[in-house]
Chain A
Amino acid sequence: MRELNNINNFYHDDKVIDACSLFGMMDTSGKQFSGEGVVRAIANMHIRGNGLGGGFAVYGLYPEYAEFYAFHIMYLSHEGQAQVEAFLKQRFYVIHVEEVPTKPTPAISNPPLVWRYFLEVKTEETKGQSLDDYVVEKVIEINTKVKDAFVFSSGKNMAVFKGVGYPEEIAEYFCLDEYTGYLWTAHGRFPTNTPGWWGGAHPFDILDWTVVHNGEISSYGINRRYLEQFGYQCTMQTDTEVVAYAVDLLMRKHGLPIEIVADIMAPPLWEQIERMPSKEQNICRTLRQVYGSLLLNGPFTVIIAHQGEMIGLTDRIRLRPLTVGIKGSVLYLSSEESAIRLICPDLDRTWIPVGGEPVVGSLEKPLIPQEVAIAGGDGI
């Protein structure tokens, strides 16, 4: 098995530590928009990164292939590519293949090859597994068994573009101005130990779940051991990987809604639980009793996204920043308010959410545009 840790976690630290800038923008009415604003916003927080990682997740960009798994795969060699393509042909019906368009950018040196594949699962191969579980297994297989390949993203009608560089440089390199989506998240990275490997940049993806993350999770050791019990292999030793797997386990496998997941990852204090009405008390107590090992302790802000939903969450004592802005049906999440105001000066509302309380934007519950916007006020 290939140790991704060797590439991503050069010094074999317990985990990769990094600090970052985050940005997320979603039109909850489902309207598509270009990434131009998102790129300007994340570029405005340039100083929060150090040029060793930038990336974007875009949802809704492949409407013509919406029902197929879209794999974005990075290759360091043509042999790696040949190997993976043979593997994909065995396991999937390959509907369409192309190289991801790029344009030479002075700041980006030594880029890997990046290709995309639209795939349909060969159901006769799944042996009763769910399609999603099958895909997850194949992604892990490529990542850990093929030397020069790494899967950036593997969800439907979504993609991750990422690499070594500042996020605005990555955006330019991947021609992100040519795509539109209804949900974008972005990340600028300040890692303290990676030698600069494209796969190590955020967003981190599994299926259509993406996570961008700012923080250091002190409970990493037990979070990882807990997830290992459920068959997740934390090969990259990044905090972000743990968040992504935790979300996958809780939301996809255990079928828990986001409010509940937030109460697991950033639970209320016992003292608060004791004061709750009995129904909530019972839920929160049970969650902490059962999922105590998934409490994410230490400073973090994450923006989690999947098809139709974007979630912002901080640790329960809010040791990393997160600002929320709303304009019409558009929800903004950002490390800094200035980045939101740069691209949307006349927000309807803006606020700093309470630690541990999720902010959720969803296509199912679109934001209702405010009748009268009060400049700079909270609009309520």
Chain B
Amino acid sequence: MKTYLPSRFIIERDPSRCIQCKVCVNQCTFDVHYYDAEDDEVRSHEENCVGCHRCVIFCPTNALTVRRNPLDYRENYNWRPEVIEDIIKQSETGGVLLTGMGNDKGYPIYWDHLLLNASQVTNPSIDPLREPMELTTYLGQKPDRVEIEPSSLSLKTQLAPQVKLDTPIMFAAMSYGAVSINVHKSLARAAAGAGTLWNTGEGGLHPELYKYGNNTVAQVASGRFGVHPEYLDVARVIEIKIGQGAKPGIGGHLPGEKVSAEVSATRMIPEGTDALSPAPQHDIYSIEDLAQLVYALKEATNYTKPIAVKIAAVHNSAAIASGMVRAGADIIVLDGLRGGTGATPKIIRDNVGIPIELALASVDTRLRQEGIRNQASIVISGGIRNSGDVAKAIALGADAVYIGTAALVALGCTLCQQCHTGKCAWGICTSNPALTKRVNPDIGARRLTNLLRGWSLELKDILGGMGINAIESLRGNRLQLRGIGLTDTELEILGVKMAGS
């Protein structure tokens, strides 16, 4: 069948710069560039290009430019090019459209409608270069009060297990298999270096990474891939994954091509078989079932680790979160509409879930109304782009955030959304050994550590400007936020006032 799909990108090769070195031919994993020996010229099959810019960055003479193909159809707000092309694809394949990464639609990004405060006159701002500024955060269940023996001033209260973060930014769940071992190594080393946590995702933990256990969140998802006693023992936190922001209500699918020998050993499934995680956890059909799994994991690890429960941000998040806390979750993780993934049905990614800002605000408010906010920490993820977003999330009520996409961008990802193809030209979202080499774990770890350091320094600047020198004084302090361009209902849900009021 002749495809009616137009090329999305145009590739311009400046003949005066191109030296026919074929770097682009080797770098592109989507079979775009090829060398025509007869004419001694490098040429392109533009129609295959996904716009990942790998070739552009690696061309030694800067000969390449990749541009959007303007595709000047007649203007139509309803039948936009993307809509037309999706229909073309489905009429040619008859399948569910898959994609990678998070929701890219124009739904409101509330971070961009929230502004932070700073001190003037009545309250001095604090200079983080000269004064201490504290980002230390402890995740875990906190009691309602502390009891002290008055005569000896000794502590009677015993806290549930707590996990210390030097900075309230962690790396989100990305499974081995979806991303390469080198990505896992980079994340684990960076987390250990920066005093924070990284998350295995649902594909288990490669034995080579057990040494980073103290900085590892081990996920237990519906497929139970790679879950065994040692895996649970070695981790610092165990996270039960119920859902994911990029595909609420949908299970995972790791295509058999990505299940290499190493991946198969770690996931504990035969090589080359598809790894299908069921949509629900089949032992959790209700909140009491969740409580059983939470306590089964607490028992299995002798009450030494906090148990997190992760859900996608959906319409009833507040009520669900309250149930999760009552079911014994020590940490609740909310993953918003813009959270990324290695593969998801496009129609789900584009239409299901709610923005994380709203979910966070309503969950934090609800837990406070019920007087149980202290019983669990709140961690959010899904589209956090910079330290400003982190500060706003904490002011809305989060204890910490997870970053996934931002971490991959630090490793080279350009959000070409081809993660599901296994062809990632940046060597991130693939298990092809020739490609995974493109991420060097030493350099990867350094890039990630730098990112965390930069954001942490900026967070300190933000806090100092507010005249606050400890992150806990920002947490849930919504008076440090003002909304701009929001309706009364939005302001009410976010629990912030309009800028100027």
Evaluate contact between A288 and B472: CB separation under 8 angstroms. yes
Do the beta carbons of B476 and A295 come within 8 Å of each other? no
Q: Are A292 and B145 in contact (CB under 8 A)?
A: no
A297 touches B146 (CB 8 A): no
**Residue among A216, A225, A257, A317 with most chain B CB within 10 A:** A225
Count residues on chain B whose CB falls below 8 Å from chain A CBs. 44
Given A219-B477, A290-B374, A293-B475, is A299 in contact with B134 using a C-beta cutoff of 8 Å?
Answer: no
Which residue of the partner chain, among B124, B153, B368, B470, contacts A225 with CB atoms under 8 Å?
A: B368
B207 at the interface (CB under 8 A from A): no
Contacting residues, chain B, for A269 (C-beta < 8 A):
132, 134
**Is there a chain B Cβ closer than 8 Å to A6's Cβ?**
no
B476–A222 touching, CB < 8 Å:
yes
Choose the segment among A12-20, A61-69, A118-126 that binds chain B (4+ C-beta atoms closer than 8 Å): A12-20
User: Which B residues lie within 8 Å of A110 (CB)?
Assistant: none
CB proximity to B under 8 Å, residues A222-242? 222, 225-226, 228-230
Of listed A218, A260, A297, A316, residue having the most chain B CB within 10 A: A218
- Chain A's interface size range is 35 or more
Interface of B is mostly: loop
Binding site for A on B (CB under 8 A): 119, 122-124, 126, 131-132, 134, 136, 138, 140, 142-143, 145-148, 150, 153-155, 157, 159, 162, 368, 371, 373-374, 466-470, 472-480, 497, 501
In the complex, the answer to whether B122 meets A19 with C-beta atoms within 8 Å is yes
Q: Does A370 contact B (CB under 8 A)?
A: no
A254 interfacial contact with B, CB 8 Å: yes
**Contact at A297–B469, with CB atoms within 8 Å?**
yes
| A105 CB within 8 Å of chain B | no
Q: What are some 24 contacts across the A-B interface (CB < 8 A)?
A: A17-B123, A218-B119, A218-B123, A218-B480, A221-B477, A221-B480, A229-B368, A229-B373, A255-B150, A260-B146, A269-B134, A283-B153, A288-B472, A290-B146, A291-B146, A292-B470, A292-B472, A292-B473, A293-B472, A295-B473, A297-B467, A298-B123, A298-B467, A317-B126
When A and B form their complex, which 5 residue pairs have the shortest distance between CB atoms, in order from nearest?
A221-B479, A292-B472, A219-B473, A297-B473, A221-B477
Assess whether A279 is in contact with B468, with CB atoms less than 8 Å apart. no
Assuming the contacts A257-B148, A271-B132, A317-B469, asked whether A228 and B122 have C-beta atoms less than 8 A apart, the reply is no
Contact present for A260 and B153 (CB under 8 Å)? yes
> Is the CB of A256 closer than 8 A to any CB of chain B?
yes
Chain B CB count within 10 A is highest, among A215, A220, A270, for A270
Contacts of A228 in B (CB 8 A): 368
B157's partner among A286, A299, A317 (CB-CB below 8 A) is A286
Given the complex, which residues of B lie within 8 Å of A283, measured CB to CB?
148, 153-155
Q: Is A289 an interface residue (CB 8 A)?
A: yes
A287 touches B131 (CB 8 A): no
Beta-carbon contact of B468 and A270 below 8 Å: no
Interface residue ranges, A against B (CB under 8 Å): 12, 14-15, 17, 19, 192, 215-216, 218-222, 225-226, 228-230, 254-257, 259-260, 269-271, 279, 282-283, 286-293, 295, 297-299, 316-317, 319
Among A254, A260, A292, chain B packs the most CB atoms within 10 A around the CB of: A292
In the bound complex, CA of A221 to CA of B158 (Å)? 28
CA distance A297 to B159 in the complex (A): 24
B468 lies within 8 A of A290 (CB): no
- In whole angstroms, how far apart are the Cα atoms of A17 and B475 in the complex? 21
A228 to B155, CA, bound (A): 26
Question: Given A216-B122, A221-B477, A228-B368, does the pair A289, B159 have CB atoms closer than 8 Å?
Answer: yes
